[in-house]
């Protein structure tokens, strides 16, 4: 690929050709102005193309403004968005280089804006609060440190931004989903109790860790569900249920039969920071309603991450309780579902007809 030089845009014909092709490489070389609208744009602007006879060219935006033109609304919006993104990127770097998590007020003061405005801006851009981002970053750094065979757990704790062992152990299970020494052993110390039952949607497996329900799997083959659980928690100790656990699975089955009733049990949600943002947004969708993948991406502050949202839904291991069945295509059509589109359709039907739950026909 041949890189264009500034000389490639010296003539008006060359500049008009760059506008027609929306050549981003020309953005720093000139702007074009439209006499009929009084605005100027960069060559790569996605605005509607004007007639050639209404266009004149300027070497710089300042020259266009001196001639009486103003920047397009899109250009102003792009500039504002770039400035917002720059503030958030700087805030993220400040969080990452701090020995201990900085306070909201300290971050805002460093950036020269109010704490209230900074908090809203950060959440709008990232889908996370500064505190949530700090926790996610420390968790990732901690995992990296623990995965290093040369570092001790104590060194990993301090290198991840904790200034005392006690502060770390207060939050270690929330950060790692298990104790630090269990994480270092790839979950070998985790104990997960499980049982397989039947509901009107087929076989159902419910698994519970020390922290809460960590899996609700559905399918046609009970043995395959157990294999899926073993793959998910390959080094954990899996224990078949007892009589007490059967009460729990009965409660979950009742919830699957009538999802709108809700499931008031603790969940052990383990995923990446992005996945957990998606799953948190899913749990805020009211029963009986649906949203699109694009809407979820908007809600978490990542409007371009539609495919990543769909992938996070596909990686959800806690069926119904994290209701990825309530996410559909933009046109309302049912998209893929980890446990089958027919089950997705039936779950939505049950929620929409809450007063009279009908089994699968």
* Token pair of 105 as six digits: 């007020």
Task: List the catalytic residue out of 214, 241, 313, 324.
Answer: 324
- Tell me, yes or no, if 41 is annotated catalytic: yes
DSSP 63-107: HHHHTT-EE-HHHHHHHHHHHHHHHHHHHHHHHHH-SSPPPHHHH
Q: Is 324 designated active site?
A: yes
| Set 41, 199, 241, 313: catalytic member | 41
110 touches 94 (CB < 8 A): yes
Q: How does 300-330 read in b/e, with b if 16+ C-beta sit within 10 Å?
A: bbbeebbebbbebbeebbbbbbbbbbbbbee
Q: Which string of DSSP letters, residue by residue, matches 275-319? A: HHHHHHHHTTSPTT--EEHHHHHHHTT-TT-HHHHHHHHHT--BT
Give the residue from 94, 88, 95 showing the smallest Cα distance to 121.
Answer: 88
Nearest-angstrom CA–CA distance, 188 and 48: 59
Active site residues: 41, 324
């Amino acid at each position: 690929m041949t890189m264009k030089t500034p000389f490639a845009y010296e003539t008006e014909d060359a500049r008009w050709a760059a506008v027609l092709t929306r050549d981003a490489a020309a953005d720093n070389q000139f702007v074009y102005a439209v006499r009929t609208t009084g605005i100027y744009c960069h060559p790569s602007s996605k605005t509607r193309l004007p007639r050639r006879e209404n266009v004149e060219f300027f070497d710089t935006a300042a020259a266009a403004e001196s001639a009486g033109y103003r920047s397009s609304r899109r250009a102003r919006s792009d500039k504002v968005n770039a400035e917002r993104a720059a503030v958030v990127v700087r805030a993220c770097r400040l969080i990452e280089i701090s020995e201990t998590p900085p306070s909201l007020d300290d971050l805002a003061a460093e950036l020269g804006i109010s704490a209230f405005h900074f908090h809203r801006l950060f959440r709008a851009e990232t889908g996370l609060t500064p505190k949530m981002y700090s926790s996610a970053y420390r968790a990732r750094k901690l995992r990296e440190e623990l995965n290093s065979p040369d570092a001790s757990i104590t060194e990993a704790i301090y290198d991840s931004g904790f200034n005392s062992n006690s502060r770390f152990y207060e939050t270690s299970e929330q950060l790692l989903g298990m104790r630090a020494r269990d994480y270092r052993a790839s979950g070998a110390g985790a104990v997960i109790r499980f049982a397989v039952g039947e509901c009107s949607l087929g076989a159902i497996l419910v698994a519970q860790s020390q922290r809460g329900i960590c899996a609700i799997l559905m399918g046609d083959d009970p043995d395959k569900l157990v294999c899926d659980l073993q793959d998910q928690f390959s080094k954990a100790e899996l224990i078949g249920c007892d009589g007490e656990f059967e009460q729990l699975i009965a409660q979950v089955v009742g919830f699957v039969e009538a999802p709108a009733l809700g499931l008031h049990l603790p969940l052990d949600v383990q995923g990446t920071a992005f996945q957990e943002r998606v799953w948190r947004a899913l749990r805020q969708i009211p029963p009986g309603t649906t949203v699109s993948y694009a809407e979820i991406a908007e809600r978490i502050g990542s409007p371009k991450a539609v495919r990543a949202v769909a992938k996070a839904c596909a990686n959800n291991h806690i069926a119904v309780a994290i209701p990825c069945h309530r996410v559909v295509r933009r046109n309302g059509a049912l998209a893929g579902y980890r446990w089958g589109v027919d089950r997705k359709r039936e779950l939505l039907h049950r929620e929409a007809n809450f007063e009279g739950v009908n089994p699968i026909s």
